[in-house]
Structure 1
């Protein structure tokens, strides 16, 4: 799989570190209890199809990148700097 870094250009995915789903999860309150915190920390959906992931360009410029990709084919649909996508 190849990922297009907005700073460095297209690179092999081995230069990047996958950091998880880019969708914001609702963080439990401090007093939510062990079950709510366990679910928040350890359980994730595993969708088939288009997702938005957060990747860190560890072997390059150090940018945080949002990657839109298909989890079935691994085809990358697009990338953007995470900071710019959040604003």
Structure 2
């Protein structure tokens, strides 16, 4: 699989490290109960289809990227710099 880094161009997958979902998580408030922390730390959605993931270009420019990938086919649909991610 190849990922097109916005700064370096098309590169082999081995140059990148994936860190997980790019979705922002809502951290529990101070003093929250253990089940809330357990949910925050361990439970994530696992959607079938398009998903935004946070990737690091460790073997290249060192940029953080948001890669939109179809989890059913592994096709890369879009790549953008994480600094340009809308919150």
* TM score, norm. by length of structure 1: 0.92
In the TM superposition, residue 12 of structure 1 has moved relative to its aligned partner by: 1.3
Q: Which runs of 5+ in 2 are unaligned?
A: none
Q: Which residue is equivalent to 1:40?
A: 40
Corresponding residue number in structure 1 for 2:4: 4
Q: CA deviation at 1:27?
A: 1.0
Alignment of 1:44-63 (within 5 A): 44-63=44-63
Q: Find the counterpart in structure 2 of residue 79 from structure 1.
A: 79
After superposition, the CA RMSD in angstroms is 1.2
The count of corresponding residues between Structure 1 and Structure 2 is 87
Structure 1 gap segments, 5+ residues each: none
